[in-house]
Amino acid sequence: MIHDKTRELVMQSSGEEPKRIVLLLLDGLSGLPHPQTGKTEMETARLPNLDRLASRASGGRMLPIDPGVTPGSGPAHLALFGYHPFQVEFGRGALEAMGSDFDMLPGDLAARANFATLRRPTSLSSIVEDRRAGRPSDAENRRLCAKLSAALRGGVEGCQVHVLPGKEHRFTVVFRGGELSAALNANDPQREDRPLIDILPGTPEAERSAHVVNEFLEQALRILADEPKANGILLRGFSNLPQVMPFRERYGLRAGAIAAYPMYRGVARLVGMEVLGAPKNFDEEIQTLKERFAEFDFFFVHYKPTDSAGHSGDFAEKVKQLEIADAAIPRIEELKPEVLIVTGDHSTPTIHREHSWHPVPTLILSPLSLSAPGARFTERGMMAGDLGTFPATQLMPLSLAHASRLMKFGA
Amino acid sequence: MIHDKTRELVMQSSGEEPKRIVLLLLDGLSGLPHPQTGKTEMETARLPNLDRLASRASGGRMLPIDPGVTPGSGPAHLALFGYHPFQVEFGRGALEAMGSDFDMLPGDLAARANFATLRRPTSLSSIVEDRRAGRPSDAENRRLCAKLSAALRGGVEGCQVHVLPGKEHRFTVVFRGGELSAALNANDPQREDRPLIDILPGTPEAERSAHVVNEFLEQALRILADEPKANGILLRGFSNLPQVMPFRERYGLRAGAIAAYPMYRGVARLVGMEVLGAPKNFDEEIQTLKERFAEFDFFFVHYKPTDSAGHSGDFAEKVKQLEIADAAIPRIEELKPEVLIVTGDHSTPTIHREHSWHPVPTLILSPLSLSAPGARFTERGMMAGDLGTFPATQLMPLSLAHASRLMKFGA
């Protein structure tokens, strides 16, 4: 977490031409050596532009959260935006809503949901026969969610109900209508052959939430009554959006976020960035950056394909996607940001097909960089370097320093 | 900050010949590459002695405060003496006095001051017309401070008054005469067209301070009465030196400080070092070290010219001053300290003309060093090494360990 004393050093924007910062985030950037070649994806790829930046920049490696801790995408982004995810209370419901690209607002109440099979006749005290309703297909999930959405279009007890499809039996429900407390228990008995649990308010403030949610469940049971399997709903992880100090207040930066994927737009919005345009791919992202470059002090540009290739376990594909990102670098350089940062949110080694905890190669290019002639932008190439191995929560103070936006501490 | 558990491991001096530690502090030591050559000041300089030490010593880089945080000299020295500057409550007045190279003593009362324009006739209840007296030039500031100093040479109510010039309308006043409490309010109304605020004692102990300060203001108004603009004074940030656990109690070390500049003598005295002699330059500092070597366990030797050259933006001059420091190394080695540390308080890159946050090359030479054959004592040469990149507040535990002055923790 950025120290309060450090935050006091942040300069607010002056009238002058701002010193702009571009953070290019290559999702799941780094990896591990291929068993045959001994080379990582970054070491295998031809990355002439990134290597050129690395040799001129302050380089190092960023530790996503804590040694050995593998982050999900949400926490990893919070960390590198300077909000320690261990200190931001993020309910599962809110996290899922954000991951579904739902634009959650303060006061909204989100819950994780399962389609389930209840013993008939269904009621709020039915026995749960199958907590996953026979694991429907994703298409079936979308059909069921659309059915609920259509039937509940008029809302419940004055609240809007948003039903967001997920994978198999999982989906997310968001209730919107004033301040809705999240102090509610789950109705999920956690085991089969047990009855649904009554949802009760945990505090007096949660009485209205409990009423809205129970009314929603009553109506949903009627809507789903004719479904052969998915005739019930389990709810858990009730949560509101966490409140964090907005980026502008915290860092004195007008910040714009450019991301093709919903999840990243959500986390950027959470920290108070303005989400720019609706780019469908990296090419459109760079175009958006160019068009809006005059309007902001800080840009978060998110590149997804490196992570996707890592998850799919396709080494050659990840190499290719790294090379595509590399080829776009000159288009960013043309805009002449004062500070250009290239990093990732975490590693996604293709041999692992999942995120990992390994530190992520990071470069910060500015007029105050301590260059590393000959350095390559790879996992091993960035082990020595001006930035050393630093926690992700320190990326923002370092970026501000390189943009001459942090005052000196003391005389 | 040194952990309490670590402090419990500190050995008190035994009757044996002490294992002495010399900390040679090259102020503003490190820098950034010259745009033409790509080499830093340290890389450009010929430093045969420091390079020889580096290849035999445990080496690494010291992070002054936090990533991206540029320290002033006072906080940077506090940090490397092991007192985290974010945790030492430093009043603005005391901080300014120290930053003005004034050697503040316990009991002294410091305040930040503005020259201001008051509506005539001036009195302690006048209306403030301009809180900055039309922003005088620095030269005008020095003239006004000299005028006050000369007229107040005899002191006020038995106290000495030190008037220290600053930038534009800002200056610092230090009152010296016994224990002067800082429990006083500002007289600054914070807005124009409002009257000065009466300075009153916040506690019974502050009655004498209030009397001294008000008498000073009365006299100052008379001295400044003929000034067209700077005919008044605003005071705020009343403060004494902060109190910290003395070096000897904290580390079991009798510590002597050798510094030609007042600021560094002040911060050394603050942490409980004895200030040795009145050396006027580095040569006299080394002479003092030699003469007093038998009397202490720990020596802080401060070398200023590297920082001064960095501030002046003179690359060649900084190179030269590094070479002068290097040439003195054998005179320190002759004394055969058990541990010889060479580091800086922060970087002062000549291309930046100011302090910066970049980590500082550091070496610790002792019989327990893990040597780095071929290492050079430069920013990049110290990136790999036994010490890694470590926070300045850990320098003292490392130094104690190299002097075999920290016990083992646990069995």
| pLDDT tops 80 at residue B406 | yes
Nearest residue on chain B to A368, judged by CA atoms? B32
A377: Cβ–Cβ under 8 A, 6 or more apart, which residues?
A42, A47, A50, A51, A53, A54, A59, A342, A361, A363
Q: What integer pLDDT is reported at residue B332 of this predicted model? A: 98
Residue A263: pLDDT band by 50, 70, 90 thresholds?
A: confident
* A401 interfaces chain B, CB cutoff of 8 Å: yes
What residues of chain A lie within 8 A of the CB of B388, using their CB?
388
Closest partner residue to A390 (CB to CB) among B32, B67, B72 is B67
Nearest residue on chain A to B78, judged by CA atoms? A410
Listed residue (B166, B168, B317) closest to B229, CA to CA: B168
Nearest residue on chain A to B359, judged by CA atoms? A386
Listed residue (A249, A266, A255, A231) closest to A115, CA to CA: A231
Give yes or no for a contact between A187 and A245, defined as CB atoms under 8 angstroms apart.
no
What is the CA A168 to chain-centroid distance, rounded?
21
Closest partner residue to A370 (CB to CB) among B90, B379, B388 is B379
Give yes or no for a contact between B29 and B343, defined as CB atoms under 8 angstroms apart.
yes
* A8 interfaces chain B, CB cutoff of 8 Å: no
What are residue B340's phi and psi, to 5 degrees?
A: -120, 120
What does the pLDDT look like over A85-135, one tens digit per residue?
A: 888 877 888 878 877 778 788 899 999 999 999 999 899 999 999 999 999
Query: Which tokens hold the place of A125?
Result: 């005290």
Listed residue (B53, B51, B157, B106) closest to B272, CA to CA: B106
Half-sphere exposure of B54 (CA within 13 A, CB side): 24
Q: Do A394 and B67 touch (CB under 8 A)?
A: yes
Give yes or no for a contact between B376 and B49, defined as CB atoms under 8 angstroms apart.
no
3-state secondary structure of A308: helix
Give yes or no for a contact between B147 and B115, defined as CB atoms under 8 angstroms apart.
no
Query: Which tokens hold the place of B380?
Result: 């990049």
Q: What integer pLDDT is reported at residue B15 of this predicted model? A: 61
Query: Which tokens hold the place of A347?
Result: 């590693």
Best residue in B78, B83, B383 for a mutation probing chain A (most A CBs within 10 Å)? B383
Distance from CA of B359 to the nearest CA of A (A): 7
Distance from CA of A382 to the nearest CA of B (A): 11
3-state secondary structure of B195: strand
Closest partner residue to A401 (CB to CB) among B40, B74, B357 is B357
What residues of chain B lie within 8 A of the CB of A21, using their CB?
none
What residues of chain B lie within 8 A of the CB of A368, using their CB?
32, 349, 352, 356, 358
* A393 interfaces chain B, CB cutoff of 8 Å: no
Bridge partners of residue B159, in order along the sequence: B156
pTM score of the predicted model:
0.84
- Residue A95 or residue A219, greater confidence: A219
Average pLDDT over residues A171-179: 96
Q: Do B69 and A384 touch (CB under 8 A)?
A: no
Residue A14: pLDDT band by 50, 70, 90 thresholds?
A: low
What percent of chain A is predicted at pLDDT more than 90? 83
What residues of chain A lie within 8 A of the CB of B40, using their CB?
370
* A386 interfaces chain B, CB cutoff of 8 Å: yes
* CA B61 – CA B68 distance, rounded (Å): 14
Helix (H) or strand (E) holding A284: helix A282-292
A9: Cβ–Cβ under 8 A, 6 or more apart, which residues?
A406, A407, A408, A409, B69
What residues of chain A lie within 8 A of the CB of B96, using their CB?
411
Closest partner residue to A384 (CB to CB) among B69, B352, B384 is B384
* B74 interfaces chain A, CB cutoff of 8 Å: yes
Query: For chain A, how many residues are written?
Result: 411
What residues of chain A lie within 8 A of the CB of B85, using their CB?
409-410
Residue A411: pLDDT band by 50, 70, 90 thresholds?
A: low
What does the pLDDT look like over A15-42, one tens digit per residue?
A: 677 899 999 999 999 999 999 999 999 9
Q: Do B68 and A410 touch (CB under 8 A)?
A: no
Domain B4-87+244-402: give its CATH code: 3.40.720.10
How many angstroms separate the Cα of A333 from the Cα of each of A275, A321, B240? 22, 19, 50
How many angstroms separate the Cα of A160 from the Cα of each of A109, A174, A216, B38, B194? 11, 8, 10, 61, 54
Q: What integer pLDDT is reported at residue A89 of this predicted model? A: 76
In the block, which residue shows the tokens 């809507």? A223
What does the pLDDT look like over A333-378, one tens digit per residue?
A: 999 999 999 999 999 999 999 999 999 999 999 999 999 999 999 9
What count of other Cβ atoms lies within 10 Å of the Cβ of residue B53? 25
A87-111 in b/e form (b: 16+ CB < 10 A) is: ebebbebbbbbbbbebebeeebbbb
Residue B266: pLDDT band by 50, 70, 90 thresholds?
A: confident
Q: Largest Cα–Cα distance of chain A, in whole Å? A: 75
Give yes or no for a contact between B296 and B273, defined as CB atoms under 8 angstroms apart.
no
* CA A306 – CA A320 distance, rounded (Å): 9
Integer-rounded Cα radius of gyration of chain B: 23
Helix (H) or strand (E) holding A251: helix A247-251
Closest partner residue to A388 (CB to CB) among B38, B98, B359 is B359
What residues of chain B lie within 8 A of the CB of A407, using their CB?
70
Query: Which tokens hold the place of A253?
Result: 């930066």
Q: Do B33 and A371 touch (CB under 8 A)?
A: yes
Q: What integer pLDDT is reported at residue A15 of this predicted model? A: 60
Interface confidence: ipTM more than 0.85? no
What count of other Cβ atoms lies within 10 Å of the Cβ of residue B277? 17
Ranges of CATH 3.40.720.10 domains, chain B: 4-87+244-402
What is the CA B246 to chain-centroid distance, rounded?
16
| pLDDT tops 70 at residue B128 | yes
Q: What integer pLDDT is reported at residue B181 of this predicted model? A: 96
Closest partner residue to B71 (CB to CB) among A389, A399, A408 is A408
Residue B102: pLDDT band by 50, 70, 90 thresholds?
A: confident
What residues of chain B lie within 8 A of the CB of A371, using their CB?
33, 38
Enumerate residues 353 to 372 of chain A having a beta carbon within 8 A of any beta carbon in chain B: 367-372
Q: What integer pLDDT is reported at residue A13 of this predicted model? A: 65
The mean pLDDT value of chain B amounts to: 94
B206-217 in b/e form (b: 16+ CB < 10 A) is: bebbbebbbebb
Instruction: Give just the sign of the alpha carbon dihedral B372, B373, B377, B381.
Output: negative
- Phi-psi category of residue A177: left, alpha or beta, with phi > 0 → left and psi -120 to 50 → alpha: left
* A55 interfaces chain B, CB cutoff of 8 Å: no
What is the CA B203 to chain-centroid distance, rounded?
30
